Amino acid sequence: MRPEQLRAAIDAGTPVVLAIGVLEYHGAHLPSGVDLLVVTEILARLGDQIIALPPFAYGAASHAVAGPEGTGTLHIDAGAILPLAEALFGGLLKAGFRNIRGVIHHQTEGFDQGMPTDLVFRLAARNAILQFLESTRGAGWWGGTDMQHYYADQAQRADPFNWIQIHPLFPKGGAFPFDHAGKGETALMMALAPQSVAIEQAAVGGHWYTQSATESTAVLGEAGVQIALTHLRGVLGLA
């Protein structure tokens, strides 16, 4: 985007969206970048309704599913990610953006409680906002009379803590199978990146979590894509 396009997007409040993912073993039949690919490919369906930032692939995958050797799992400690995420969000605020969003799929079945990757970006968002406000408005900014409507404005974009928000790709309780490399994720990849799926290898390794993968279809995957799109349009405030 050229500078005049960026300025117009800032003035219009267009969501600027960061796809957040990890590189993690997803069985022998799927690529290690599943958790990022499903986000980037679904966000691409929103077209010019959003500004898509270059995606972040290097989250805290953990070795809960598989070790690092020859599996495609790459774990970066959340503590190492925090300063980068803070700097990224701080830079976007300085650039003038006030509608910054992150979207993540990895380990979001318990998003209310959180897991390391989403938690570190959520903490970075809060830290960046607080640092920006103090640097631009000074100490005691919240106690000033111009913040007297803070609680009434919490649900509105006027609340500065709404300037950066992190969302799961799917809504809580969505009617789509949530799994790891099983029926749900395999179906999503069949719909979004079919060339990356080798379903004949789903049984390799004998993993319990891939046993349902052979039940996947692109039709089911597309239904999941539509659920995610409806959710995203809602949380991003798109028509």
All domains of the chain, ordered by start, with CATH?
3-176 (3.40.50.10310)
CA angle 42, 44, 48 (to 5 degrees): 135
User: Positive or negative, the Cα torsion across 233, 95, 118, 192?
Assistant: positive
Residues in the chain predicted with pLDDT less than 70, given as ranges, are 155-157
pLDDT for the residue 184: 98
15, 236 contact by CB (below 8 A) = yes
From CA 130, how far away is CA 217, in angstroms rounded? 45
Q: What is residue 159's predicted lDDT score, i.e. its pLDDT?
A: 87
Residue in 99, 93, 96, 163 with CA at minimum distance from that of residue 132: 93
The runs of H, that is alpha helices, within 99-217 are 116-137, 183-192
pLDDT at 155: 66
Q: What is the pTM of this model?
A: 0.96
Contact yes or no for 196/37 (Cβ under 8 A): yes
pLDDT confidence of residue 46? 98
Per-residue model confidence (pLDDT) at position 141:
93
The model's pLDDT over 5-47, given as tens digits with 9 standing for 90+, comes to 999 999 999 999 999 999 999 999 999 999 999 999 999 999 9
